[in-house]
Amino acid sequence: MHDYLATVGNVAITSLSDGRLQFPPGDFFPSIPEEAWEPHRDKLLPDGKIVLNIGSFLLRSDGKAVLVDTGLGRSSRGLEEAVGGLLQKDMKSKGVRLDEIDMVVTTHLHRDHVGWNLVWDGDVCRPTFPNARYLVPKADWDVFTRRAGMDMFSYIADQVLPLERLGVLELVEGEQALTSELTALPTPGHTPGHTSVIISSQGERGVILGDVAHIPVQAQETDWSPRADTNPDLSRVTRRELMERMEIDGSLVVSGHFPAPGYGRLIRLKGRRYWRAL
């Protein structure tokens, strides 16, 4: 089996990537002193930077094709060390058609998760996934759409707001069943409406993290909150509780920002929790 494929019970998962991002650790985690990185130097690039995959996941459940997040898209303005825009090419290489997607689930409204929602031809846009409903956390919609006119949130006007006018938007509030095997679970802190996807099938469990954690180190360093967390204190609580839950029930941990393809499990060694890639 290809390494980009995984299963949780009857749910088939395909890992997809739109590219990658790189950051100096001090920029991404400004509250973490440099010496705290010493035990984790082997997790950084040779130049000392953090690298993040820009991952999306296709879940096949109950005859539905559910895409979680749509990457950065073609615009990397303001991100000097970003390579994006590869999602459609990656989907094609893995035999995934745009028109077979039934549902797009947005974990949150940061731009590296919504970049392929829409395609534009001049002043006219259309859904990239023409047969899909787009599910967006209501708490994020309420906050981010108010910022659409700001320069750093211009992607909201391009890739999020038109979903409502096009009639494909569905706002998600609280815990919500997506299929009989998939559930949208609020995991706030990174953003107000941040949402993870719980997979439960045939006695097996998995979790699509979204940005509850960005790097594997956070499996043990759950207090490490990145600059992008809107509520760092809540983010720490959410991350700690979800990590504990996944460790106890043996969930497959699925992360779009961990090293591709992003599949792993939490293990205990000498009293500490670690993420181990499959």
| Coil/strand/helix, residue 101 | coil
Which neighbouring-strand residues pair with 231? none
For residue 261, cis peptide bond before it (omega within 30 degrees of 0): yes
Report domain extents, the chain: 5-277
Q: What is the pLDDT of residues 161-219, one digit of tens each?
A: 999 999 999 999 999 999 999 999 999 999 999 999 999 999 999 999 999 999 999 99
116-161 pLDDT, tens digit per residue, is: 999 999 999 999 999 999 999 999 999 999 988 788 899 999 999 9
Q: For residue 208, list its beta bridge partners.
A: 197, 254
Q: Letter for the amino acid at 93?
A: S
Q: What is the pTM of this model?
A: 0.96
Q: Which CATH architecture has domain 5-277?
A: 4-Layer Sandwich (3.60)
pLDDT at residue 78, rounded to an integer = 55
Confidence at residue 147, expressed as pLDDT on a 0 to 100 scale: 87
Report the percent of the chain where pLDDT is more than 70: 97
At 70-82, the pLDDT tens digits run 999 987 655 656 7
Q: Beta partners for 183?
A: 177, 198
**Predicted pLDDT at 33:** 95
- What does 142-171 look like in DSSP terms, one character per residue? HHHGGGTTSGGGHHHHHHTTHHHHTT-EEE
